[in-house]
Structure 1
Amino acid sequence: MLNSGESPNTRREPAEKQTGYTQELRRTLTFKDLVTFGLITMLPIAPTQVYALASAESFGMAPLVYLVGMIAMVFTALSYSVMSREFPIAGSAYSFVQRGLNPHVGFLTGWIIILDYLIIPGMLISFSNLWLSAVLPGIPPIVILIVFAAIITLVNVRGIILTRWASYLFLFCQLGLIVIFIICALKYVLIDGNGLGGFSLSPFYQPGKVDLQFIATAASIAVLGFIGFDSISTLSEETRNPTRTVGRAVVASLCLIGLLFLSQSYFATLAHPDHTDLDPGMGYFDIIREVGGDVLYYAFIVIGVACVGIANALTVQSAISRVIYSMSRDKLLPFSGILSKVHDRYKTPANATIFVGLVSVLTGLFLSLDLLAKLVNFGAMSTYMLLNLSVITHFIIKNKRRGFGSLIRYLVCPLIGFSVIGFIWSGFDKTTYIIGFAWLAIGIVFGAIKSKGYREVPPALSEI
């Protein structure tokens, strides 16, 4: 079915005529591949990282926290969905804001994404190093950083097909562990009579404790656990039928990961309802050991190390390398001629991928995990707000979609998404704002130089 206002001939135009770019990347990915990519990026076993914090902040109602977060993020996911159908090209929010809102604001969006995603692989590898020390103490951090960065860079340079199969492998490992944990938790609670001793609604609702302030706090905690669903849209130029596939995959992966988070946190709460004695860093692992013993405990740590340091970092590096590639072919970054090169054999943005790998090692060595996490959150939330605004500008203001359905889809939903993200964005600490806005200021100056005072736009936009 054609979009409103789309002529029958539009779909048959070559990609370079529709987008202004020649198709260089290899189209191999399907809906299933994209959903798997999104799930891996968001990490199915992510509650191992934040469950204890979420439980402490919510009076033991961590499942409710994840439910609120999933509902809150759906609105922004819908914005990504409609923009990916409208502009099926690599670059994610950079390309969407560039074409839907303003080319120069689009550049600044891409600049913010770079701050966000460029440092995530290093942060993830550092997390793995932290966990690995619980099993194999004494390994120098630089060794882990270099080995993990080399693995993910090699896989991504070799091609999206290899990345896809690695994603499937790690996804099945995580899903297998989750199923085993739930089975052990059921036995621990229902058969052995431990924890709450049976099913209960208390993990979702406790009278007198749930109010608007609770919901706001819950959203601010949980939304950060869903960062990464947007990475799917960076693969538009490597996807078969992207106008139909990418948007559906974005929403599907967000809903599926939400259900996985809900189920894990629910059974963890049934097994260990007292949130006051949970260790902030290892609380979830302690519950795993409680219900499944040492074997399951160490299995989660080992698989967690591999999934975070390799699988999760692999998909994030793949996403940011394509954003850098997209901005470089628009000649908007330093060394654009080098970073926009596509590997002759593998048809991947190899130079951009290698660059991200090098930065991953440096960020992991010289920046703290706390600072990295703050910068990632600032970049992601800023990007999501601009993306929601671009939907309103493109469909309501520029294309004048004013019917009832269009107003709900292109105005109300993006406004809700913008408001939720804006609330979370307003709660960052002073250090995050200082570093985030300093990075943005550098981007504004650099963008002014590249565009001759913001008067020129990338050639691809002027050729459409």
Structure 2
Amino acid sequence: MTATAPPGVRQDEAGTGPRDSVALAGFGYQQELHRTMGRYASFAAGFSFISVLTTVFQFFAFGFSFGGAAFFWTWPVVLVGQLLVAACFAELAARYPLSGAIYQWATRLSSPAFGWFAGWIMVIGQIVVVAAAALALQVVLPAIWSGFQLLGGDPAPTTPTGAANAALLAVVLLVLTTTVNLLDNRIMSAVNRVGVTAEIIGAVLIVVLLFTHAERGPGITLHTGGQGGAIGALLVGSFTAAYVLIGFDSAGEMSEETRSPRRTAPRTILLALASAGVLGGLLVLGGVLAAPDLTDGRLATEGLSYVLTSSLGDGVGRALLADVAVAIAVATLAIQTSGSRMLFSMARDGVLPCSALLSRVSPRTGMPAAPALLVGVAAAALGLLNLASPEAFLAIGTTCIAMLYLAYTMVTGPMLWQRLRGAPVAPADGPLHDETGRPLFSLGRWGLPVNALAFVYGVGMTVNLAWPRAAVYDPAGGHWYFQWFTVLFLAVTVALGAVYRTGRARKVTSTLAG
């Protein structure tokens, strides 16, 4: 199968040189996406999906409200668990450098049907994550300037006016990110790189300022002070870290747009998660130490925005919040891009409705336009649920985390099964070296224990996130559907997938019989 460079794109930019294009053709695919991303751009893809500024600012108040200062200790627990998962993904990224990584990996480690459900759950989860990320603008923009509270009233995301305003801001942001996703691969990558650089600089600056304005010592983290005891801090408080530390697989999702992906993607997957994990943990700790008061209730409702504007002054605090707003916009863009690549990967295998349209790539831009539009419109529709009730904000956020954790487990599970039965996790005729001639990334003899721990951790966290706790999902009472929202959404997602696959199988059978 021969790949040719799109018009106006050099051979090396399109990734159609002798190594990357031949490797992709070995999997049965043509080079259609433009291969313009280097190492930093690949790192930025994973880091911007994680986006510590977006997610820590979005969920800090929630974690503190349940676990008090002790919820900080959930951070290293979740980080270690996710690093185990990322190590498994790094091995697979070196051996299967393909777009739609979760779908591709699960399919090749198990069966086409199982892989399809992994991809289906992942892409629906990604759409929900896009909506949740866009809704995070409400946490920072009204704190920068009251004029961003377009509907007036209380800007807190948990209030009716704050929730409704969050929906409006989210729709505006999604229009912008969808436009960028339609322009050009190089423009999208450049925006991502600039945004990630600004986010890293801003995060480091915020960490330094928080620690230099500390009001108390780190010993305070040994006290919960929230709505639960130690177990509550670990289980419910872990939602913050669980939400932040996802999306590192995006470096793998963008493999077909990355130069030398067998070498680059495994390292950027691990680097993106490790660097985000360290920065995020320091942000959480710094926020607890620098908060003016831990008992007045503001930290549990306003989160880090309150700490910045109160401890650092309005001018500095608002300037830093502007950087957070940039990080939120770039994170929304990156997540939308990742979701569109998952749709594209599944569609080109002909396993989705309207596959011909969803798999079409513009030769000029190197971008699959239809998937980007679909993800943007679907995310906007989910974001508008916030107009109905402020509880939708938390329901949407925790649902997307649970779905991604389940999809991750649908990769580490089959991978573990292959290891236990002594089968290789790599293609039988696959290369042993990356594009530089060095051995492919491998866990070696640590593969089995790391894989086993990653799978157990993933199952446990998925159950923890989806558990229908009334105190978490329906604190006011009377909304049973919010309490069970995550479970119901997962069930509906699987059921719709099963209905589609059953109907498709019957159609294929009747066509063959006819």
Q: Any conservation in 1 of the 2:99–2:345 contact (CA below 8 Å)?
A: yes
Q: Any conservation in 2 of the 1:74–1:254 contact (CA below 8 Å)?
A: yes
Indicate the residue corresponding to 2:431 in structure 1: none
- What pairs up with 1:156-171 in 2 under 5 angstroms? 156-171=181-196
- What pairs up with 1:82-231 in 2 under 5 angstroms? 82-129=91-138, 131-134=140-143, 135=145, 136-139=147-150, 144-189=169-214, 195-196=215-216, 200-202=217-219, 205=222, 215-216=234-235, 219-231=238-250
1:393 paired residue among 398, 414, 417: 417
- What pairs up with 1:379-418 in 2 under 5 angstroms? 379-397=403-421, 399=423, 406=444, 408-409=446-447, 411-418=448-455
- What pairs up with 1:231-250 in 2 under 5 angstroms? 231-250=250-269
> Which segment is superposed worse, 246-255 or 122-131?
122-131
Q: Any conservation in 1 of the 2:242–2:401 contact (CA below 8 Å)?
A: no
Q: Tell me, what secondary structure is at the counterpart of 2:411?
A: helix
1:20 paired residue among 18, 25, 28: 28
* Partner amino acid, structure 2, of 1:139: L
Tell me by how many angstroms 1:125 deviates. Answer: 2.1
Q: Does 1:375 align with 2:399?
A: yes
* Partner amino acid, structure 1, of 2:410: L
2:500 paired residue among 434, 438, 446: 446
CA distance in 1, matches of 2:95, 2:322: 41
CA distance in 1, matches of 2:31, 2:289: 51
Tell me by how many angstroms 1:282 deviates. Answer: 1.2
CA distance in 2, matches of 1:320, 1:299: 31
1:186-243, CA deviations, whole angstroms, 9 ceiling, x for partnerless residues? 4434xxxxx12xxx44256569x99777655554542222121122211010111111
Tell me by how many angstroms 1:61 deviates. Answer: 3.0
Distance 1:224 1:361, change over 3 A: closer
CA distance in 2, matches of 1:239, 1:110: 21
Tell me by how many angstroms 1:395 deviates. Answer: 4.3
TM-score normalised to structure 1 length: 0.84
1:304-354, CA deviations, whole angstroms, 9 ceiling, x for partnerless residues? 33321x211100010000000011101111111111000120111122112
Q: Any conservation in 2 of the 1:184–1:291 contact (CA below 8 Å)?
A: no
CA distance in 1, matches of 2:238, 2:500: 35
1:90-120, CA deviations, whole angstroms, 9 ceiling, x for partnerless residues? 0021111011121110100111012201232
* Structure 2: gaps (5+ residues): 1-17, 152-164, 387-391, 426-441, 469-483, 510-514
Indicate the residue corresponding to 1:421 in structure 2: 458
- What pairs up with 1:282-297 in 2 under 5 angstroms? 282-297=302-317
CA distance in 1, matches of 2:31, 2:87: 26
Q: Tell me, what secondary structure is at the counterpart of 2:26?
A: helix
> Which segment is superposed worse, 52-61 or 417-426?
52-61
Indicate the residue corresponding to 1:261 in structure 2: 280
Tell me by how many angstroms 1:25 deviates. Answer: 1.0
Distance 1:361 1:278, change over 3 A: same
Q: Tell me, what secondary structure is at the counterpart of 2:350?
A: coil
CA distance in 1, matches of 2:198, 2:443: 41
> Which segment is superposed worse, 276-285 or 224-233?
276-285
Q: Any conservation in 2 of the 1:447–1:454 contact (CA below 8 Å)?
A: no
Distance 1:79 1:17, change over 3 A: same
Q: Any conservation in 2 of the 1:96–1:390 contact (CA below 8 Å)?
A: no
Tell me by how many angstroms 1:296 deviates. Answer: 2.5
Q: Does 1 or 2 have the higher relative contact order (CA < 8 Å, sep 6+)?
A: 1
* Structure 1: gaps (5+ residues): 1-9, 190-194, 456-464
CA distance in 2, matches of 1:68, 1:99: 30
CA distance in 2, matches of 1:185, 1:132: 20
- What pairs up with 1:309-328 in 2 under 5 angstroms? 310-328=329-347
Q: Tell me, what secondary structure is at the counterpart of 2:100?
A: coil
Indicate the residue corresponding to 2:432 in structure 1: none
Tell me by how many angstroms 1:31 deviates. Answer: 2.0
1:19-64, CA deviations, whole angstroms, 9 ceiling, x for partnerless residues? 1211211112122211122111111313222223333444413442
* Partner amino acid, structure 2, of 1:180: L
Tell me by how many angstroms 1:379 deviates. Answer: 1.1
Tell me by how many angstroms 1:172 deviates. Answer: 2.9
CA distance in 2, matches of 1:384, 1:276: 38
Q: Tell me, what secondary structure is at the counterpart of 2:259?
A: coil
Distance 1:182 1:301, change over 3 A: closer
CA distance in 1, matches of 2:174, 2:462: 30
Q: Any conservation in 1 of the 2:106–2:115 contact (CA below 8 Å)?
A: yes
TM-score normalised to structure 2 length: 0.77
* Partner amino acid, structure 1, of 2:26: Q
Indicate the residue corresponding to 1:340 in structure 2: 359
Tell me by how many angstroms 1:263 deviates. Answer: 1.7
Q: Does 1:331 align with 2:350?
A: yes
* Partner amino acid, structure 1, of 2:316: L
Distance 1:133 1:211, change over 3 A: closer
1:369-394, CA deviations, whole angstroms, 9 ceiling, x for partnerless residues? 23321321221111011111122234
Tell me by how many angstroms 1:433 deviates. Answer: 1.1
CA RMSD of aligned residues (A): 3.0
Distance 1:415 1:217, change over 3 A: farther
Q: Any conservation in 1 of the 2:67–2:230 contact (CA below 8 Å)?
A: no
Q: Any conservation in 2 of the 1:229–1:254 contact (CA below 8 Å)?
A: yes
* Partner amino acid, structure 2, of 1:351: A
Distance 1:420 1:29, change over 3 A: same
1:437 paired residue among 482, 488, 491: 491
Q: Tell me, what secondary structure is at the counterpart of 1:426?
A: helix
Q: Does 1:363 align with 2:382?
A: yes
Indicate the residue corresponding to 1:3 in structure 2: none
